[in-house]
Every structure is written in structure tokens, then in C-alpha cells.
Amino acid sequence: MIYVLKLKKYLFPILLLLFTLCLFVFSSSNLKAAENGLILWATSIVPSLFPFLVATELFAHTDIFYIFDKLFNKCMKPLFNISGEGSFAFIMGIISGYPVGAKIACDFRNNNVLSKTECERLLSFTNNSGPLFIIGTVGISMYGNSLIGFLLLITHILASITVGFLFRFWGKKIKECNIKSDEVHDKKNVSFSKLGEILSDCIYNSISTIMIIGGFVVLFSVIISIFKASKLLNIFVLFTSPFFRILHIPSSFVSPLITGFLEITNGIALISNIQIKEISINIVLTSFLLGIGGLSIFLQILSIVSKTDLSIKPYVIGKILQGVLSAIYTFIFIQLFPFFNFDL
């Protein structure tokens, strides 16, 4: 028992030491992986995400939440048991992609726009892959077919809505202190005289978020490189193959799936390159990874959520559910609609 406690105490420092040693031992492949991670961040993530981050920061100083509350309260309450303001997090989460939905939910909590329970419900389903990534990167660039991208986007959104509906029952029925949207409307009105100062703050906050995301992309690119170079990935594949066989998933998909659990872009790219006649398997597994997000995105969200009093549990449970539901919905669509079936 004492040895177990000591192991737990020193486990993290030991892992950090091993990671540092691996950086030296596999330095050549790690440098290339870090370079590729930086290129991915600079050429894909910054151009597509940074403007949305600035926009969401600016929206916090306008009447937008008040407007969304008036427009969507009648559908948000019955569906998700969340006030109308929550629709802004849902819509921006779909349009912008990771991690905008979670960031807005946390901003709502920090600014007392919604209650703690409502923000946790938002966390479960508003943090999604964006259409630019799903249709552009995955559909067109990886699969060479925009129709696959549209299929993945449709099932991704359907799964997100389903998770949101299931989480309408999340949280105890506790009366929480909450600033009404009318009061937020009065307090958040921005004037042109303060526009320069507000814009500077918004850009600063957005740069901070985008730099954190870039750090995670580079770090996980290096971690995946270490896993491959050290043959640890092969060991994981060996131990997990029996489980995947039970699910009737071909062995060739095991390594890409494990990679996808760490970082979805690399995992999906590997899955899309597997040449088999039943390409529907590739598409269904891609849908699963898009829904679940992966460890890299989870840690990005954790870094944002940890600055609030919100629980990370709704996000974790929600993403697992969304991954499973996305895969099921994609499979159903492929079976029901022949134009979505690309099997040879």
C-alpha cells in the first residue's frame, strides 16, 4: 500500500522525466513533428479560428445575448432546458469549431449570464467541430469528396442536438443567483469612444486562447511522434486489438483510432488513407472521432473550464455520447440513403 502511494506521488515527475529523455532520443523525428504542428496551427487553425475568437469577445460587449434570448428562448427551454442566451454558444460553437462553444459557456458563467447548471449543460453539447474543418479539411482534402463532408457535418450536428436534449436533465433543481438578460443588456452596451480599448482587450484575450491551442497542437504532434518512434503505439495496438475485434473493426484501423484518441486531425488523416472496398467503415469511424474530439481538445477545454467553477464531467460524458451517436447516425444515413454509400 505504501509503495502504491509513493508511485502515485512520483508518477507525474517520472512521466515528465521520460518525456524529456524521449525528446533527446528521438530528436530528429520530434523536430519534424513540431514543425508540422506549427505549420498546421499557422496555416489552418489561426486563419479559421482567430477571427471567430475576436468576434465572440466583441459580442460580449453588445446586445447580442439579449437578442438571442428573445429570439430563441421558446425553443431552447423545451429542448435543452437552457435560457435563450445559450443559443449563441450553440450556434457559434457549430460555426466556429473547437473550442469556441466551451469558451462562450465559460464566459457566460464568469459574467453571470447563465446559471452554473445551465453552463454545464452547454458544455456537454456546444463544443463541436466546425464546418470548415469537417467539409473542407476532412471531406474535400482528406476524402476528396464534399458529399462525405456534408454527411459528417449533418450527423455531427444531429448528435450534438441529441446530447443537448439528454443533458436537459443534468443538474439538481437548485435556485441559483443569475443576472437576467435585461440587466446584462444594460451593462454590456459598448460605445465608439471605448471601441479601441475594447478591441485591444478582445484581441489580447483571443491571442492568449489561440496561443494555448497552438501549444497543444505542437505538443501532441510531438507526443504522437514519440509514440511511433518508440514503438509504444505498436504495443497499444497489440493490447487493444482484441477489443476492436469484438466490435468488428478491422485491425488496420486500430493504430489510426488510437492516434485519433490523442489528436483527431492526425487520426482522421490516417483513417481516410486506408484503402478498403467498404469505405463506409472509414466514414463511420471518422464520424466517431469528430464527435469525441480526442485528448488534445479535451485538455484545451480543461484549461478553459478550470478558470471557472464549472464541472468538466458534462463535457466528458457529452463527448463520449456524441462520438457514439455520430457514428450510429452516420451508419444509419449510409444504409438509408444510397447517395451517401461510397462502398465499391
The predicted pLDDT at position 183 comes to: 47
Write b or e for each residue in 219-237: b if 16 or more Cβ atoms lie within 10 A of its Cβ, otherwise e: bbbbbbbbbbbeeebeebb
Distance CA 174, CA 242 (A): 45
Whether 327 has a pLDDT exceeding 60, the answer reads yes
**What CA–CA distance (Å, rounded) separates 315 from 318?**
5
Q: In this structure, what C-alpha cell is assigned to residue 130?
A: 466546425
pLDDT at 196: 78
What residue spans of the chain are helical by DSSP H? 2-25, 27-40, 46-59, 64-80, 86-96, 100-110, 116-125, 131, 146-166, 181-187, 195-229, 232-246, 254-262, 264-272, 279-292, 295-305, 313-336
Specify the pLDDT at position 186.
Answer: 47
Q: Which amino acid is at 94?
A: I
Render pLDDT for 170-216 as a digit per residue (tens, 0 to 9): 876 555 544 444 444 444 555 566 777 888 888 988 898 889 888 88
Most confidently modeled of 6-15, 69-78, 233-242, 306-315? 306-315
Instruction: Look at 30-34, 159-163, 246-250, 305-309 and tell me which has the smallest mean pLDDT.
Output: 246-250
pLDDT at 88: 87
pLDDT one-digit tens code per residue, 293-315: 889 899 889 988 998 989 999 99
Q: Which of 20-24, 192-196, 334-338 has the lowest mean pLDDT?
A: 192-196
- pLDDT confidence of 152, banded at 50, 70, 90? very high
What pTM, to 2 d.p., does this model score? Answer: 0.83
Over range 53-68, report the average pLDDT: 78
Q: Check residue 8 and give its pLDDT.
A: 63
Split at pLDDT 50, 70, 90, the class of 6 is low
pLDDT of 187 reads 46
pLDDT reported for residue 316: 94
Predicted confidence (pLDDT) at residue 60 exceeds the cutoff of 80: no
pLDDT at 1 over 80: no
DSSP 55-104: HHHHHTTSSHHHHHHHHHHHHHHHHHS--TTHHHHHHHHHHH-TTHHHHH
Mean per-residue pLDDT over the chain, rounded: 84
User: pLDDT at position 288, please?
Assistant: 96
Q: What is the pLDDT of residue 184?
A: 45
pLDDT value at position 205? 84
Could you give the percent of the chain with pLDDT greater than 70? 90
Query: Which tens digit of pLDDT belongs to each residue from 269-287?
Result: 889 888 888 888 999 999 9
